[in-house]
Amino acid sequence: MSNKLKTAEIYLEPSDNQRLNSLIGPFDENIKHIERRLGLEIAHRENHFRITGKHKNVNAGLDLLQSLYVETAPLKGIIKEIDPELIHLSIIEANCLEQDNSEFINDAYIKTRKGVIKPRNPNQNTYISNIINHDICFGIGPAGTGKTYLAVAAAVDALERQEIRRILLTRPAVEAGEKLGFLPGDLTQKIDPYLRPLYDALFEMLGFEKVERLIEKKVIEIAPLAYMRGRTLNDAFIILDESQNTTVEQMKMFLTRIGFNSQAVITGDITQVDLPRGARSGLRHAIEVLSEVDEISFNFFEAKDVVRHPVVGRIVMAYEAHDEVERKQALAKKEQYNLNKSRDKQND
């Protein structure tokens, strides 16, 4: 393979100083970020960019600059700001398109008033398609893969198109290191911190004031899972988050609440169960029991699907590798124990 560097030039059209400033970032921070991520040297003067690096990386850099400049196109007179998070997501999407082009057809999307939300990798594409086409959809995988965010986006989309009359967001109030009794306030105030990721996604898509109005009108309801018992939920989009912390009984109770013209998305990470020792996760049990039901889809995300800061994906993979080593060690110890026990019996 040749080690020769490639140099390429690109003119971003139409020339617009405001859009260029958004792309470049303050003190060229966005350009420096792209240089670090792709191993490139980028020089620019106004809308003329000169990129130097390895052949493959230069091509990726050209495509990335072009796509990011398109992102800055004014929407209702407002120019979108380019930040490191958007750059990171665009790089992930570009890598997927390059590596899995034959498989990854970006044909699923969610449209909200904020804009179109597109999948960043093949698993997200499949997940969005399954949410659209199934009454009940499971999203299972590590933190940062977009499970909850995309589910909330789909719920907002369905509400805005008046396909459903309300959104219901819930999660089990399982303690993760702190006791609820030690937290200040009444039950609602104790539960709110556990539901914060759901609030954050709603605020981002609808705005704080609109979310508050919809909550007051009961169009959006956010509640702990225990409040679902005895209810029948019609004309609703229901999201159960952190479902790995449900018991078998709670999961069955939740799934049987779903009424006519309703849709449910269940998200969770089976590697982060906070249930008491000996209690079986309702999510794990549901995977075993419901995997053959046609109307239900299961979507499994991996560490490579993480769309947060690049280090998050590496953290997840490091934990997975460590867990695999411990599993093998435990299996080896068990085999050695059985071997020793068998030898002792023979000696007797």
CB neighbours of residue 180 within 10 Å? 13
Cis (ω within 30 of 0) for the bond into 197?
Answer: no
Torsion of CA 270, 274, 279, 280, to 10 degrees: -10
- Element housing 101 (H / E): none
How far apart CA 84 and CA 309 sit, in angstroms, is: 9
Alpha carbons within 13 A on the beta-carbon side of 194: 28
Q: Which domains does the chain have, with CATH numbers?
A: 6-99 (3.30.1370.10), 110-308 (3.40.50.300)
H helix intervals, the chain: 17-24, 29-38, 55-71, 84-99, 122-133, 147-160, 187-191, 196-206, 208-216, 248-255, 282-290, 310-347
pLDDT at 278: 83
How far apart CA 20 and CA 49 sit, in angstroms, is: 11
Q: What is the pLDDT along the chain (348 residues), one digit of tens a residue?
A: 445 678 899 999 988 999 999 999 998 888 988 888 787 788 898 899 999 888 888 888 899 999 999 988 888 778 888 888 788 778 877 665 455 444 555 567 787 776 778 888 888 889 999 999 999 999 998 888 889 999 999 999 999 989 999 999 998 876 544 454 555 555 556 667 777 778 888 888 888 899 999 999 999 998 888 888 888 889 999 999 999 999 999 999 999 999 999 999 999 988 788 888 888 999 989 988 998 888 899 998 877 777 766 666 667 667 767 777 887 788 888 888 888 877 777 776
CB neighbours of residue 238 within 10 Å? 26
Residues 268 and 294 sit within 8 Å (Cβ to Cβ): no
Residues 6 and 58 sit within 8 Å (Cβ to Cβ): yes
How far apart CA 269 and CA 303 sit, in angstroms, is: 12
Collapsing DSSP to helix, strand or coil, 12 comes out as coil
How far apart CA 250 and CA 307 sit, in angstroms, is: 30
> What are the tokens at 64?
């990335």
How far apart CA 260 and CA 239 sit, in angstroms, is: 16
